[in-house]
Amino acid sequence: MHTVTLIKGDGVGPEISAAVLTVLAAAGVKIKWEEAAAGQEALEKYGTPLPPATLESIRRNRVALKGPLTTPVGSGFRSVNVALRRELDLYVNLRPAKTFPGVNSPFRDIDLVVVRENTEDLYAGVEHMVGADAAESIKIITRGASERIVRFAFEYALRHHRRKVTAVHKANILKLSDGLFLESARRVAAAYPSIEFEDRIVDNMAMQLVQKPQLYDVLVMPNLYGDILSDLCAGLVGGLGLAPGANIGDGMALFEPVHGSAPKYSGQNKVNPGAMIMSAVLMLHHLGEADAARRVEAALADQIREGKRLTYDLGGSAGTMEMAEAVAARI
Ligand code: NAD
């Protein structure tokens, strides 16, 4: 029996969480869910968007599954997602992007993994006004964080039989910060001679990913580029509705879809539960439940291939729960 912290999330979070519980129950994995609050709901109930009890629950169970959380733009509380990653030192953000046969996408056979550094860069949140009419945000890159994220990318490549790691940067302009990231990547790469290594400037990388994504395999990059390019990769394979993510630290992991709380669809039983289901698949692998992970992924893939009982973004008219129930029935 595994005990997993469950944060249902804001907006469409509760709907896709209910959907994933239905699918996992069908897979027969023994999981005791420990529900914990965060985001808007926690703010209303407990006066803070990230209650200490939620952090304690994740620290105790060491595994969490999380729906999306709303972050107010401009004003209001800082991102709970960023706070969770920082508090728990979940320094890796892993975002696989793989084509499902049957999804309307310009490409086939894409199998990319974005490894995004999760703790520093412009997300360190060091910002201030300079007088009334200028603002300054500080980009922080350290050797330690750069080396450990690149090491993770190579270890991941070894474990998953991947052939190449590409480091993405803007070291031609940001000579010190991205220069340090690139230097760290080159140093770590030298210890993994069996895996090909190359680097790309981020703007060129964006174009290459759109034109010839099949050339790439594991991509490793600082936080901001990873945030943007992983959404681009999700778009290449059919949109945010199928893009899963994992935040990983030493001995702790939190799984969540790449997409946000999609507030305009909240409560409508409309959005695709696929990204949350695939996040749970990553979680099952992490828990050592590889067989259940494969069965869930295969059921989702079959459902998509057959083209029936799918949500709007996949060209269907089914609701969130109807699609989840169809996947569950296949398992
Ligand atoms: P979003 O991902 O919520 O929505 C963007 C659009 O993508 C939606 O309008 C919808 O058309 C589509 N979409 C998203 N999820 C979908 C799904 N499962 N199925 C089908 N279509 C889907 O992004 P946003 O509107 O920029 O952000 C809304 C809120 O979510 C913000 O407060 C933002 O800060 C937050 N957010 C949270 C996370 C997280 O919790 N990890 C990630 C991104 C954004």
Nearest CA to ligand 1 atom 10: 262
DSSP 270-330: -S--HHHHHHHHHHHHHTT-HHHHHHHHHHHHHHHHHT-S--GGGT----HHHHHHHHHHH
Query: Is 177 a member of any domain?
Result: yes
Query: Is 100 a member of any domain?
Result: no
What is the rounded distance in angstroms from the CA atom of residue 176 to the CA atom of residue 139? 11
- Same domain, yes or no: 77 and 128: no
pLDDT of residue 182: 98
- Same domain, yes or no: 27 and 128: no
Domain count across the chain: 2
pLDDT band at 238 (very low <50, low <70, confident <90, very high): confident
Query: Is 285 a member of any domain?
Result: yes
- Same domain, yes or no: 122 and 138: yes
Ligand 1 binding pocket includes 78 (Cβ within 6 Å): no
Residue with tokens 């680097």: 199
CA 299 / ligand 1 centre spacing (Å): 25
pLDDT of residue 73: 66
φ/ψ of residue 286, rounded to 5: -60, -35
- Same domain, yes or no: 262 and 326: yes
pLDDT band at 155 (very low <50, low <70, confident <90, very high): very high
From 94, 261, 269, give the residue whose CB has the most ligand 1 atoms within 8 Å, as the site to mutate: 261
Last residue of a domain, one of 236, 267, 287: 236
pTM of the model: 0.92
Q: What is the mean pLDDT of residues 189-209?
A: 98
Ligand 1 binding pocket includes 264 (Cβ within 6 Å): yes
pLDDT of residue 76: 63
Query: Is 252 a member of any domain?
Result: yes
Q: Which residues are catalytic?
A: 123, 170, 203, 227
- Same domain, yes or no: 89 and 114: no
pLDDT for 241 beyond 80: yes
Query: Is 34 a member of any domain?
Result: yes
307-328 pLDDT per residue, tens: 999 999 999 999 999 999 999 9
Query: Is 219 a member of any domain?
Result: yes
Ligand 1 binding pocket includes 81 (Cβ within 6 Å): yes
- Same domain, yes or no: 199 and 265: no
- Same domain, yes or no: 113 and 221: yes
6-32 pLDDT per residue, tens: 999 999 999 999 999 999 999 999 999
pLDDT band at 71 (very low <50, low <70, confident <90, very high): confident
Last residue of a domain, one of 201, 236, 271: 236
Torsion angle of the four alpha carbons 229, 230, 236, 237, in this order, in degrees rounded to the nearest 10: 170
What is the rounded distance in angstroms from the CA atom of residue 304 to the CA atom of residue 301? 5
Query: Is 99 a member of any domain?
Result: no
CATH, residue 222:
3.40.718.10
pLDDT of residue 125: 82
Ligand 1 binding pocket includes 260 (Cβ within 6 Å): yes
Nearest CA to ligand 1 atom 30: 260
Query: Is 176 a member of any domain?
Result: yes
- Same domain, yes or no: 222 and 302: no
What is the rounded distance in angstroms from the CA atom of residue 280 to the CA atom of residue 19? 11
Name which of 214, 219, 243 is nearest 103 in CA terms: 243
pLDDT of residue 239: 85
pLDDT band at 78 (very low <50, low <70, confident <90, very high): confident
Q: What is the mean pLDDT of residues 174-201?
A: 98
Nearest CA to ligand 1 atom 34: 71
SS3 content of the chain, % helix, strand, coil (to 5): 45, 20, 35
Q: Which two tokens stand for residue 275?
A: 């990204």
Last residue of a domain, one of 236, 268, 295: 236
Radius of gyration of the CA atoms of the chain, in A: 20
- Same domain, yes or no: 87 and 138: no
Q: What is the mean pLDDT of residues 178-205?
A: 98
CA 240 / ligand 1 centre spacing (Å): 8
Q: What residues form DSSP beta bridges with 49?
A: none
- Same domain, yes or no: 119 and 229: yes
Q: What's at 35, amino acid-wise?
A: E
**Domain residues for 196?**
106-236
Ligand 1 binding pocket includes 71 (Cβ within 6 Å): yes
Ligand 1 binding pocket includes 303 (Cβ within 6 Å): no
- Same domain, yes or no: 211 and 281: no
Ligand 1 binding pocket includes 261 (Cβ within 6 Å): yes
Residues contacting 47, CB < 8 A, separation 6+: none
CA 312 / ligand 1 centre spacing (Å): 15
Percent over 90 (pLDDT), the chain: 88
CA 227 / ligand 1 centre spacing (Å): 13
- Same domain, yes or no: 25 and 88: yes
